[in-house]
Structure 1
Amino acid sequence: MKSLKIFILAAVAIVAGLFAACSDDDFKAGPAVSGTQVYFPESIAAEYSIGDEVSEIAIPVMRVVGTEAQTVAVLADDKSGLFSIPASVSFAAGEKKAELLMTFDRTQLEDGTDYPISFLLNDEENTTPYGNSQLAITVTPWPWELLGTGLFRDDWLSSMFNGNSVEIEVQIHKHKSREGVYMIEDMYGWPFLTEFFGGSQADIESKVGLNYTPTNIVLNASDPNAVFFSRQFSGITDKDPDYGDYEIATLKDGEGTLVDGVVTFPVQGLGLFCLKGGQYANKNDNFRILLPGAEIVDYSLAVEYDSMRVDNDGATSAVLTFNYGADVTGIGYVVVPSNISAEERATLAAAIADGSAKDLNKIENLDGSGSVTEKFVLAGSGAHTVVAVANDKNGWPLTADFVAINFFFPGSGGAAAPECEVQAQLGLPSALVPENAAKYPDQNNLAYLVKGSELQSVRTYLNKTAVIQGAGMTPEQIVTNYGNNISADQLSAANGTGFANIFIELDPDTSYTLIVKATNVYGKSKVVTAECSTAEVDYKGELVIGDYLMQYEVTGESGNTTVKNVLTVVPKEAGNDTDFFVSNLGINIGGISWYAAYDSTASTLTLSGIWKGEETSGNMLGGWVGISATEAVAFSSKNPANDQSQGNDPIVFRVDPLTKQLTALNVDLQVQVGTINGNSVTSPQLVAIFKSDGTTIAPYTEPEAGTSALSAKMQSVGHNVVKVPYRSVSDMRLAGRRNLLKSNAVSAGEGLTCPVRTLSVKPERCEPSPKTFGRVATFKLVDSSARLAK
């Protein structure tokens, strides 16, 4: 058996958000600790779903000093009175772990009812301010009802390993009280893993280095048009301590659908997360779950322009090829002698479905998957659009799944399709968008402009020039593999006066390259690049600015793991030596900068909690902040000396009096992400932790580029600055607020004002002709004429 672990690409975001503000109290040193330092570990589950056979739950309790036998008093709050909880927990001599065994009569508990219970380790001499002396859990009698056996097909673990294509049977349960919520038993258990890797459990554990813990995965399909996995443990743990537990999650804007008992997700709609970062999953669009009783149907439909044919009399015809799925019984289509908008295509598809479309052509009596070609007489050259609708097995049109393509027809004169026209500019905000330069200074922001004509799609990618030059890939390969498509509104602007925006929170005095790949309505593509450097920082102060590597070693039951983060310190403005901005704090979330004040006398850099651009929002440290319709994030900052801390204490960095460099963190910092469910947040996940005792901070130097492929560079754990692409102002979704900056581009206009004209030419069924490879677009790498000097 041979497998290949695939490099993590980047910090794939399921969240991006903002945080704000707290008081600027003086920092006090943490108290000295004594006694055995008993605490509840961070890894304790907050929720327990219990089956009919369960009658006890063991709560782990840890201590730092484990020499002598010890009994610690425990206070419990159980409002139901149905749980028997010991008044103490006992450690054996030489042991650092004990269990608080809680028992109950399962028959007395009501299914689906939540039973909250809280605990307190009541021994001030032996607890510690650096560990949890309190714990709150919820016990819920088994809320699941078995539906039956379904099918699961993977395209998630395949984003990390090259393995076999696998579809296995799984037991699927439905929630007793929450409609549309399902649980899949051991979705990634040994039956799956042994088929995926083609080897035994022993082989997988020893050669691949994976362990599996029996784990059920919850799927939320309460909205069948927005199905999602909240971020949760898959059951798979990598023995490589740099990777650790593998977690599955639905990414932002990656929600799936539940149609006729079949759950699917869009390409790259899922994410695989581990200590290394995140990886896009479902890259091959194969991930699928079939609920019990679901029927698989194949209504796939694709159409392509095949070639032009010239008859003996000189008449020219376009050959269209339709590829259809096994359950398609017919196809209706219309050809339009122009490139029409997305709205017009949808309107035409609806007319095809109800039979009212002018010049409607039909292909009937299809049986089984296959392809069929149609020869369609066309006289003139130019752009054309074909819109097609498949019929289901009952003969009903599938309007929502219509397909539409545009193609260029050369005609009798042999005209060539027009080449793609696109320009890209990348420059300093003061030069390209001077009206926004004050808010987005040249030192860490770059403006860009994309402009062309008759563009059908535009894909962009921005990264440091050194990274791109050392990637071992062409600009076309980079933007194809890692770029993002601009939206329909942005595309409309690009086809008009141009689409302009700003990439924010970049590194000062650094060269960046923008790669743009555009395709026009005739199928011709072009790649252009533009390069510009952010401005140098006009700073003569003593505090050392730039990137800092912050590290903390977490000790867990499975071993030690080093959590890393690269934060960036830049001056607030020229000539100001005391006020700064700190970005990428704790976790890389593009577009967030915290206000920070340097005190040379106290040798501290203090973050007041105020976020740039949200100065009036107030203190949101210690609480959840919604950053989309389904996602939330929370920063918790605790001063170890403050027993009453609510997680909103000022964030203080110590500065070395001699070197003037950040060296330590004076607070305990945690970052969590979660899923919004009504007015609450569920499935919280700890994604970063840095404690004052043990966190090290030192200036960071980025590794030289050119030593590996781009995919390897983008997974850099030590430095989370790389984004795909860098976040621009237009795509920021922060705490439900509107974008910080509207596009400067002007709308492309009202669009077509005349009705769509269709072609009333009777098509002729014909045999497929050889592919005309001369139609394939030639991709050229062209430097933008708008390249700006450094």
Structure 2
Amino acid sequence: MKKLNTYLLVLMGVFALTWSACTDSYDYDPAEEIAGAQVYFSTAMPSQVNLAKNATSFDVTVSRINTTEALTVNLTTTDKSGLFTIPTTANFATGAETIKLSIGYDPDKLEYDDFKAITIAIADANLTTPYGTSTYSFKAGIPAPWTSLGNAIFSDAFLFEKTYQVELQQNDLDPTMYRLVDPYSQGLEAEGLSTHGDQSPYLTFQILKAGDMINKVKITTDGLVHFDAYCTGFYNTSNDYNKNVDAHHPSDFTNFQAESFWMYSTVKAYTKEGKPAIVQLAPYYYMDGLGGWDYSQKDGVVRIAFPGIVLTDYTAEVAYIGRYTDVSNKNYAIAKVTLGEDVESAKIALVSGEDIEAAAKGIIDGSIKSEELTENGTITFPCDEGGVYSFVVVTYGSGEAQENASVTFNFSTGGSPFDDLLQGTSIDDYVGNWLIPAATSSASGNLAASVKKVDNQTLVVKGLLGEDGYDDTFYLDYDKETGWIILAPQDVEPYDGYDAVLALINSSAGKLTTKEYFVGGLTKDGKLTFLNAESNTVEWDSFGYCAITDKGASLYSPYCKLIWSSVKKQSAEMNTKLLKGFSMQPLQMNKKTFSTAKNIKVAQTIDGVMVK
């Protein structure tokens, strides 16, 4: 599906330039003829010259326009390294347009990837030309040799929905060093992300062993991965930030100078021969001078499956969606779990505090009580006291534990909007016709839709848009433990040739999300009321249908509100009246603009001092 991105509409004026004259003849002075040899350096010559380890010289071309006579041209040179032998004259034969300067070097004295600055200039200004450059400045050095291993499968879950085939190279001199060639350009273009083309040409990483050093810290764990800071190329225009988003290893920041902060950048799987098969990186995404997003303690952010390796998805997502109190006045915390495609089973536990690693180990060795899951859904845990808690999930596949996911939250046993939702409501009580308050930019009213039961865990909503020939179906998930339902973003039928989604919306800000959701239930007065899940980062006030156009996300429905009323009969005429004349409206995608207050950390609230 095409990615949702910020949609900017720019109105540009069109101006006509006119010119007129009242005479047909003009006087002019011819350009003065340029004398001399007119010696120059071609502007097409490279700014970096890659030298060979098995050579001792390279050539620089000097050109001239006037070739009638033999000519010796004096040169001035600058080479602070003192490692190059550079001629001080260029000697042209009669009729010769170019001469090659042979610059000598000793390859044994040059370090790999250490490029030295050199400048060559024509000493006599009378021999130059205004139509060419009289100075050539460049860098010369021997690049470290790399061997292509083929195409790896690359993904960055922070930016991209899809995976991409990207060339992976291994350093011939240090086989622990690898690099991806231009890993971000494909995704930026394919998924419609804003960019100024500043993405780094390489993503370079090194697989470490116990005893290696990072910032003078000796690590104790085999298989950790360090990577050089790089620019993703994503240019964040939200909130007028107008900054590139870079990716850093957490060791680049002064607050993360311990091995415990580096454990999520690691080799996730090895081949039978002991070679790396899957590597994951856990970057701190950062906008210079502003702040960023700390993904350094998360699994599955950047994943690299080496050539020939099938990338498996053993990830999980877990969210705290709220609390409910049963008729016996017992409190429960509710988790929503989404399992990766290759997860065979998972275990989840509710633990006090936020020591995720200890909890995951306890789940695996059985010292912490957990519940087993084999499919996506919600699960509740008794929780009688307020405080800081974490849901921790461990996924399993191929007979062993694979990855873990967690969410930490503040649990309160006091009053909550969820207290107004009736508990234990049967799925059948949601079946019927409902009036849904809705609004456009110029009108408001009610839409009618029918809710029917699909199975014991699913409800289907139809008829909300009432448009002939368009299937506006979307689904609600039912949780039998609480009796509540979940309205989550989802794919819907394409609209006008574009992919489309049902999304949560903040109508006042004109933003949407496809990552958060509503929790709904019946109230005492029979209303079907939807609330923001406890883990939502924005107060979403409505939902709607959005098309993913070439210019971004556009709403093609009214803003549908969150308190529904039961009605005996659905009225298609009512829907038609409100929808008449409605036109698509651009929205901002919250995942792409990253403008959520809880997600963005400004420079004053993080210690963003670089230590490299």
Same fold (TM over 0.5): no
**Bigger relative contact order, structure 1 or 2 (CA pairs below 8 A, ≥6 apart):** 1
TM range (shorter): 0.3 to 0.5
The TM-score, its normalising length taken from structure 1, stands at 0.34
